Amino acid sequence: MLLLLTPALVVIVALLVVPLAWLAWQSIRQDGGFTLANYQRVFTGTYLDTFLLTFKLSFIVTGVTVLLGYPVAYLAASVSSRWSALILGMVILPFWTSVLVRTYAWLVLLQRTGVFNKALLATGLIEQPLQLAYNPFGTIVAMVHILLPFMVLPLYSAMQKIPPNLSQAGASLGGSPFYVFTRVFLPLSLSGVMAGVTLVFVLCLGFYITPELMGGGKSIMVSMVVSRNVEIYNSWGAASAVSVALLVCVFAIFYAASRIVPLEKTLSAK
Partner 1 sequence: MNKLSFGRICLIAGVALILAFLMLPVLIVVPLSFSDTRFLTFPPPGYSLRWYYAFFGNPTWLAAARTTLIASTSAALIATPIGVAAAYAIQHGTLSVMRYLRMVLMLPLMVPIIIVAVGVFFVFTKTGMVNTLPGLILADTMLGLPYVLISVGADLRTFDHTQEMVARSLGMNRVRSFLAVTLPQIRSSVISAAVFVFIQALDETVVALFISGGENQTLTRRMFVTLRDEIDPTIAAISTMLTALTLCLVLSVVVSRRSVAARA
By beta-carbon proximity to partner 1, the closer residue of 42 and 72 is: 72
Q: Can you say whether residue 134 is alpha, beta or left, with left for phi > 0 and alpha for psi between -120 and 50 degrees? A: left
Find the shortest distance in angstroms from Cβ 108 to partner 1.
5
Q: How far is the CB of 48 from partner 1 (least distance, A)?
A: 19
Q: Which residue number, 114 or 136, has a Cβ lying nearer to partner 1?
A: 114
Q: What is the 3-state secondary structure (H, E, C) of 119-163?
A: HHHHHCCCCCCCCCCCCHHHHHHHHHHHHHHHHHHHHHHHHHCCC
Nearer to partner 1, 87 or 120 (CB): 87
CB of 39 or CB of 208, closer to partner 1: 208
Paired with 264 in beta bridges are none
- The residue (of 158 and 244) whose beta carbon lies closer to partner 1 is 244
What is the distance between the alpha carbons of residues 134 and 218, in angstroms, rounded to a whole number? 8
DSSP 156-217: HHHHHTS-HHHHHHHHHTT--HHHHIIIIIHHHHHHHHHHHHHHHHHHHHT--HHHHHHSTT
The minimum distance between CB 163 and partner 1, in angstroms, equals 14
> Which positions ≥6 away from 162 have C-beta within 8 Å?
77, 185, 188, 189
| Shortest Å, Cβ 14 to partner 1 | 7
Decide: 209 and 250 in contact? Cβ < 8 Å: no
Shortest distance (Å) from residue 136 CB to partner 1: 18
The residue (of 2 and 125) whose beta carbon lies closer to partner 1 is: 2
Query: What is Dmax (Cα atoms) for the chain?
Result: 73
Q: Could you count the other beta carbons within 10 Å of the beta carbon of residue 40? A: 12
204 touches 147 (CB < 8 A): yes
Q: How far is the CB of 184 from partner 1 (least distance, A)?
A: 15
| Min CB(35)–partner 1 separation in Å | 19
Which CB sits closer to partner 1, 58 or 191? 58
